Amino acid sequence: MLVVAFIFGFEFGPGPIVWLYLSEICNDQATSVNTVVNWAWTLVISVGTPPLVTALEGYVWLLFGITCTLGFFFVVFVMKETKGLTKD
């Protein structure tokens, strides 16, 4: 049940915004580097989740929820609006 809540919160929260934001503000080379970094952290989370689930038992989902909440506040307060702006 908590897995579904986490995926729901991430996918309808700041999850997909990273991909849109990177393509709008970066040139092609920076977008490529950012994509590699994003996928590398995705791999770290994917590999690190099973040991965390066994070590922290039920609290790993609280950790992920706090991380998503911090990411949401980062998106709201730090990321700049790009609507109507040129690439330059």
Tokens 């994003």: give the residue.
38
Q: Could you give the C-alpha distances from 49 to 8, 41, 45, in angstroms and in order?
A: 17, 12, 6
Amino acid (1-letter code) at residue 67: T
Please return the burial class of 30, using the count of CB atoms within 10 Å of its CB with bins 0-12, 13-18 and 19+.
Answer: exposed
What pLDDT tens digit does each residue of the chain (88 aa) get?
A: 677 877 777 777 667 777 777 777 777 788 888 888 888 988 888 888 888 888 887 788 788 788 878 877 887 888 777 667 666 6
Number of neighbours of residue 64 by Cβ within 10 angstroms: 19
Distance between CA 22 and CA 87 in Å, rounded?
12
